[in-house]
Amino acid sequence: MSEPITLNVGGKLYTTSLSTLTSFPDSMLGAMFSGKMPTKRDSQGYCFIDRDGKVFRYILNFLRTSHLDLPEDFQEMGLLRREADFYQVQPLIEALQEKEVELSKAEKNAMLNITLDQRTQTVHFTVREAPQIYSLSSSSMEVFSAHIFSTSSLFLKLLGSRLYYCFNGNLSSISSYLQDPNHLTLDWVATVEGLPEEEYTRQNLKRLWVVPANKQINSFQVFVEEVLKIAMSDGFCVDSSHPHASDFMNNKIIRLIRYK
């Protein structure tokens, strides 16, 4: 056992060992405590991490045992998932995804309704042709919106763990945009031909990806296919009585149900 180390995580103190903190070398904690990343100290000299101190206990226990242990009535799965994403403990992220699938399957009957909208608009941008020489250009852009409602809040969390926004060069889970446990609205654009990468950020244009397939969603057809895969793996099936077949085939309305 290595010498004990005391951490101050959001004002809550934890004492552990260096071997525990570096048990997953590819994680942020592994990088911090192997000297690859700088660390901050509080006034007492303890290593300070400005994150949620309460749920860090579950992350620390996972580092110790490689097993996810949560109380039966645990209500902060979304917060724990975001913290696991921050610390980049990949096996914990995967364990949380499996746990959410397990909890979702334990729910009773559920309904999933998705309304889709698509429009084309023109985006204007500048292109650098040479040093200090710029030209104004424009291109057509496909803009997508999906309004999602489910009686299963756990399924929306599962969906949120699979869909990611690409913005400012980074992928971020849409779980962080889940304000209502039963409703989720997604807005994104398809890749625009000729649009410089920095223009997506400047014009606040988000693209949508699905993981772990690492596939960009550039059409409603792809979006519907990927959502159906996730929903059907969670026990949903297409509600043949609603909506009208033409609306479903035209990717306007999707309704799925789950009976248990």
Domain of residue 12, CATH code: 3.30.710.10
Q: What is the pLDDT of residue 242?
A: 60
Same domain, 30 and 152: no
Question: What is residue 190's DSSP assignment?
Answer: P
Same domain, 73 and 124: no
Structure-token pair, residue 139: 């291109």
Beta carbons of 105 and 127 less than 8 angstroms apart: no
Q: Which residue from 67, 71, 49, 50 is spatially nearest to 59, judged by alpha carbons?
A: 67
CA distances to 93, 96, 101, 164, 208 from 172, in Å = 14, 17, 20, 5, 10
Whether 93 maps to a domain, the answer reads: no
Same domain, 150 and 251: yes
Distance CA 239, CA 155 (A): 17
Distance CA 160, CA 177 (A): 9
Q: Based on C-alpha coordinates, what's the Rg of the chain?
A: 22
Q: What is the pLDDT of residue 205?
A: 94
Same domain, 11 and 82: yes
Whether 99 maps to a domain, the answer reads: no
Whether 95 maps to a domain, the answer reads: no
Domain extent, residue 72, equals 4-88
Whether 158 maps to a domain, the answer reads: yes
* Apex 102 CA angle, 97 and 105, nearest 5: 125
Q: Which residue from 208, 174, 214 is spatially nearest to 191, judged by alpha carbons?
A: 208
Distance CA 184, CA 178 (A): 6
Distance CA 220, CA 145 (A): 9
Whether 94 maps to a domain, the answer reads: no
pTM of the full structure: 0.57
Helix ranges restricted to H, the chain: 18-21, 28-32, 56-65, 77-87, 90-106, 153-162, 197-202, 220-233, 245-249
Beta carbons of 101 and 156 less than 8 angstroms apart: no
Whether 104 maps to a domain, the answer reads: no
Same domain, 44 and 119: no
Same domain, 254 and 195: yes
Same domain, 119 and 64: no
Same domain, 49 and 115: no
CA pseudo-torsion sign 26, 163, 180, 91:
negative
Distance CA 87, CA 92 (A): 10
Q: What is the pLDDT of residue 106?
A: 64
Same domain, 76 and 196: no
Burial of 236 from C-beta contacts in 10 A (0-12 / 13-18 / 19+) = buried
Whether 254 maps to a domain, the answer reads: yes
Beta carbons of 209 and 167 less than 8 angstroms apart: no
Out of 88, 120, 144, a domain closes at 88
pLDDT tens, the chain, 260 aa long: 568 899 999 999 999 999 999 999 999 999 999 888 888 999 999 999 999 999 999 999 999 999 999 987 787 888 999 999 999 999 999 999 888 877 766 667 889 999 999 999 998 887 777 777 777 888 899 999 999 999 888 889 899 999 999 998 889 999 888 888 889 999 999 998 888 888 899 899 999 999 888 899 999 899 999 999 999 998 899 877 665 555 555 658 889 998 86
Overall domain count for the chain: 2
Name, in order, each residue with C-beta under 8 angstroms of 130's C-beta and a sequence gap of 6 or more. none
Same domain, 160 and 245: yes
Same domain, 129 and 204: yes
Pairing state between β 40-41 and 47-49: antiparallel
Whether 203 maps to a domain, the answer reads: yes
Same domain, 143 and 79: no
